[in-house]
């Protein structure tokens, strides 16, 4: 059984009234617990692919499945299971965290969603549960009454990770999770992410420009160029011995930094 599957899935946006294919028909299968890096240049379609896997953007062709079930066209009231099983950490915690909400409300939000409450198997957002969620990411319960602006950038991304994990998902998308952070805290946040992914045996899609991060966290990598997967395979094979000119250029660019 796979956790995520794209079957000939294509994404078309409209730009200035014209259709624009951001992801050409693509096949991807992700097994439970598998960690897959998605690399490629800016605008190549990485975030689009990730959003498709979470049901946040519909395919214009083909199918997207989660837990072997199509998520295309699912009405909101049937999305509870998907919301609980799949989470996302975005690039920039400054824009992904609501500045007017206290941390207790931000972190507890996934547990308050009616579609999740109806499932009956997410915990109540009690003070103990919320404190535990913050402590699990290296923050303290005393911070529950703070607002995002009262935290550092690294702490904010820890809050985003706590929120993503509080529903105990099986699949996590991390889209450039440390690139907006100060270099000095990147390693700490990456280590936190690595520990959580290991302990929870999460399936992971990690979108990153940074090939070193993909090596560190992933076993498999997809290389995307202009909406096509141009190369894929085990991280060591693809990054040590790239076959496609685009992958070679990405690897060379990293070596020359």
Ligand X SMILES: Nc1ncnc2c1ncn2[C@@H]1O[C@H](COP(=O)(O)OP(=O)(O)OP(=O)(O)O)[C@@H](O)[C@H]1O
Q: Where do contacts with ligand X occur on this chain (CB under 6 A)?
A: 13, 15, 20, 22, 40, 42-48
Can you read off the two tokens belonging to residue 59?
């395919």
Strand order through the sheet with 35-39 = 86-89, 171-175, 203-207, 35-39, 220-225, 228-234
List, in order, residues 6 or more apart from 87 with CB less than 8 Å away. 110, 163, 164, 165, 167, 169, 171, 172, 173
The binder of 157, among ligand X, Mg ion, none, by C-beta within 5 to 8 A per type, is none
The binder of 15, among Mg ion, ligand X, none, by C-beta within 5 to 8 A per type, is ligand X
The binder of 99, among ligand X, Mg ion, none, by C-beta within 5 to 8 A per type, is none
Strand order through the sheet with 69-70 = 18-30, 4-15, 61-66, 69-70
Question: According to CB under 5 A, which residues from 28 to 67 bind Mg ion?
Answer: 47
The binder of 45, among Mg ion, ligand X, none, by C-beta within 5 to 8 A per type, is ligand X
Min dist CB 231 to Mg ion, Å, is 19
The binder of 140, among Mg ion, ligand X, none, by C-beta within 5 to 8 A per type, is none
Query: Cβ closer to ligand X: 117 or 228?
Result: 228
d(CA 240, CA 215): 10
d(CA 191, CA 170): 19
Min dist CB 57 to ligand X, Å, is 8
Contact 86/66 with Cβ under 8 angstroms? yes
Contact 205/50 with Cβ under 8 angstroms? yes
Query: Cβ closer to ligand X: 15 or 149?
Result: 15
Query: Cβ closer to ligand X: 144 or 178?
Result: 178
d(CA 187, CA 193): 10
Query: Does 96 sit near Mg ion (CB under 5 A)?
Result: no
Query: Cβ closer to ligand X: 18 or 184?
Result: 18
Min dist CB 211 to Mg ion, Å, is 16
Please give the residue whose beta carbon sits closest to Mg ion in the complex.
Answer: 47
d(CA 111, CA 122): 6
Query: Cβ closer to Mg ion: 173 or 202?
Result: 173
Min dist CB 92 to ligand X, Å, is 11
Can you read off the two tokens belonging to residue 192?
């936190």
Min dist CB 232 to Mg ion, Å, is 18
Query: Cβ closer to ligand X: 55 or 80?
Result: 55
Question: Could you list the residues that contact Mg ion (CB under 5 A)?
Answer: 47
């Amino acid at each position: 059984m796979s956790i995520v599957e794209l079957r000939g899935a294509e994404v078309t946006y409209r730009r200035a009234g014209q259709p624009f294919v951001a992801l050409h028909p693509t096949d991807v299968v992700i097994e439970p617990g598998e960690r897959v890096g998605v690399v490629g240049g800016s605008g190549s379609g990485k975030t689009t692919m990730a959003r498709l896997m979470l049901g946040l953007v519909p395919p214009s062709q083909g199918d997207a499945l989660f837990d072997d079930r199509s998520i295309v066209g699912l009405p909101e009231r049937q999305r509870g299971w998907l919301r609980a099983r799949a989470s996302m950490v975005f690039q920039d915690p400054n824009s992904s965290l609501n500045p007017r909400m206290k941390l207790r409300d931000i972190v507890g939000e996934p547990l308050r969603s009616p579609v999740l409450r109806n499932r009956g198997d997410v915990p109540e957002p009690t003070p103990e549960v919320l404190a535990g969620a913050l402590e699990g990411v290296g923050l303290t319960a005393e911070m529950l009454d703070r607002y995002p602006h009262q935290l550092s950038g690294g702490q904010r991304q820890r809050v985003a990770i706590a929120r993503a994990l509080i529903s105990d998902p099986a699949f996590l998308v991390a889209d450039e999770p440390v690139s907006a952070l100060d270099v000095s805290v990147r390693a700490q946040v990456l280590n936190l992410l690595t520990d959580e992914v290991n302990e929870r045996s999460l399936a992971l899609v990690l979108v990153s420009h940074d090939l070193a991060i993909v090596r560190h966290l992933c076993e498999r990598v997809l290389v995307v160029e202009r909406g096509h997967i141009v190369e894929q395979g085990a991280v060591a094979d693809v990054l040590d011995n790239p076959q496609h000119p685009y992958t070679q250029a990405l690897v060379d660019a990293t070596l020359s930094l």
